[in-house]
């Protein structure tokens, strides 16, 4: 059997969905994690007030319309695969970096320690908390550096139940910031020390990596902001000041940015002015190849960036 026939026989596809208040967006991705291929994308608008992002209350206000929109968008993919990786707006939950002095013997014990440490910072009932963590490294003083994600279990459960009702099997659920990093990972991983500043669906995200692991994360929702908005400059500037005060030895990092195509150059200039360093603009079109039934321009692909990043999780 030739190599080409083998690769076609064993080719795998993965589906990602991004849910926002305005639409549901799907990306069907094939190829490999190192050489991803966009096979098809689809989206369906959501009526105003069908979905309202909240960290406290159930997000889907009109379940029937939501299910119908998800089903319609997924049908456009013409994919038999009902397993999906899900990307939600960052403001559905909280992403934080936490240092833990105590040692733990099991995952359950770790979760208990994290809950105890965060009990004053969690805006909802601890019993309703969906909590996950990843150990990043052991610091020189022996503390464990953890990446922690929290969300309301009720909110996550509602999304899971409604996606299941739409005929899908939600396999992984995380947030847009993670999926943007995943979409651009092949470039970010070439620079162990780097900063990604993104503006996506009205949310500003700043993630700084040291030796390949995140050491600073700031996410700020700026609804209605344009790239020339002074709020963006001020948020980026103050975040970078905070970061450099905390880590004064980080000076030689690579700097990257990502933003909608129509404002990308303006955003790049704002980041450069705030950082005192010219950032490289990351465009999703350069990280994927487009199949016969998928768009290839940055304008057409950018709205699917988080869905593509979600799909890469299962590729």
Q: Where are the beta strands (DSSP E) in the chain?
A: 14-19, 23-31, 36-45, 83-88, 93-100, 129-138, 144-152, 169-175, 194-200, 203-210, 213-221, 254-258, 280-281, 289-290
Cα-flanking dihedrals φ and ψ of residue 24, to 5°?
A: -110, 140
Contacts of 288 (CB under 8 A, 6+ apart): 29, 36, 37, 38, 301, 308
Which is nearest to 196 in space by CA: 185, 182, 180, 207?
A: 207
User: What are the structural domains, with CATH classification, of the chain?
Assistant: 12-91+153-181+287-312 (3.30.420.40), 93-152 (3.30.1490.300), 187-281 (3.30.420.40)
**What pLDDT is stored for residue 194 in this prediction?**
95
Which string of DSSP letters, residue by residue, matches 66-102? HHHHHHHHHHTTT-S--EEEEEE-GGGEEEEEEEE-S
Q: At what angle do helices 264-275 and 230-246 cross, to 10 degrees?
A: 40
Contacts of 29 (CB under 8 A, 6+ apart): 13, 14, 15, 16, 36, 37, 38, 39, 288, 308, 311, 312, 315
**What pLDDT is stored for residue 2 in this prediction?**
35
**What pLDDT is stored for residue 227 in this prediction?**
62
| Per-residue model confidence as pLDDT tens for the chain (315 residues) | 333 333 344 458 999 999 999 999 999 999 998 899 999 999 999 999 999 999 999 999 999 999 999 999 999 999 988 999 999 999 999 999 999 888 888 888 988 889 888 887 787 787 788 899 999 988 888 889 999 999 999 999 999 999 999 999 999 999 999 999 999 999 999 998 999 999 999 999 999 999 889 999 999 999 776 666 789 999 999 999 999 999 888 766 899 999 999 999 999 999 999 999 999 999 999 999 999 999 999 999 999 999 999 999 998
The answer to whether the CB of 200 falls within 8 A of the CB of 258 is yes
**What pLDDT is stored for residue 223 in this prediction?**
79
Q: What is the pTM of this model?
A: 0.92
């Amino acid at each position: 059997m030739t190599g080409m026939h083998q690769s076609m026989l064993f080719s795998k596809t993965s589906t990602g969905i991004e849910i926002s208040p305005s639409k549901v967006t799907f990306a069907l991705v094939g190829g490999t994690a190192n050489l991803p291929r966009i096979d098809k994308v689809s989206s369906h608008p959501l009526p105003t007030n069908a979905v309202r992002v909240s960290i406290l209350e159930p997000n889907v206000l009109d379940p029937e319309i939501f299910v119908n929109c998800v089903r319609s968008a997924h049908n456009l993919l013409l994919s038999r695969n009902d397993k999906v990786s899900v990307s939600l707006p960052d403001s559905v939950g909280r992403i934080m970096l936490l240092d833990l002095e105590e040692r733990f013997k099991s995952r359950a014990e770790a979760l208990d320690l994290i809950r105890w440490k965060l009990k004053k910072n969690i805006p909802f009932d601890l019993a309703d908390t969906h909590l996950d963590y990843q150990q990043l490294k052991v610091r020189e003083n022996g503390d464990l550096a953890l990446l922690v994600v929290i969300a309301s279990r009720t909110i996550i459960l509602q999304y899971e139940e409604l996606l299941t009702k739409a005929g899908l099997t939600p396999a992984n659920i995380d947030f847009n910031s993670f999926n943007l990093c995943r979409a651009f990972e092949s470039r970010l991983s070439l620079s162990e020390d780097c900063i990604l500043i993104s503006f996506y669906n009205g949310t500003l995200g700043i993630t700084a990596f040291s030796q390949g692991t995140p050491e600073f994360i700031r996410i700020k929702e700026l609804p209605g902001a344009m790239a020339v908005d002074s709020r963006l400059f001020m948020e980026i500037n103050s975040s970078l000041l905070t970061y450099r005060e905390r880590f004064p030895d980080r000076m030689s990092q690579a700097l990257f940015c990502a933003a909608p195509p129509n404002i990308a150059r303006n955003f790049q200039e704002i980041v450069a002015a705030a950082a005192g360093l010219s950032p490289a603009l990351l465009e999703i079109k350069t990280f994927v190849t487009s199949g016969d039934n998928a768009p290839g321009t940055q304008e057409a692909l950018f709205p699917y960036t988080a869905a593509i990043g979600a799909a890469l999780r299962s590729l």
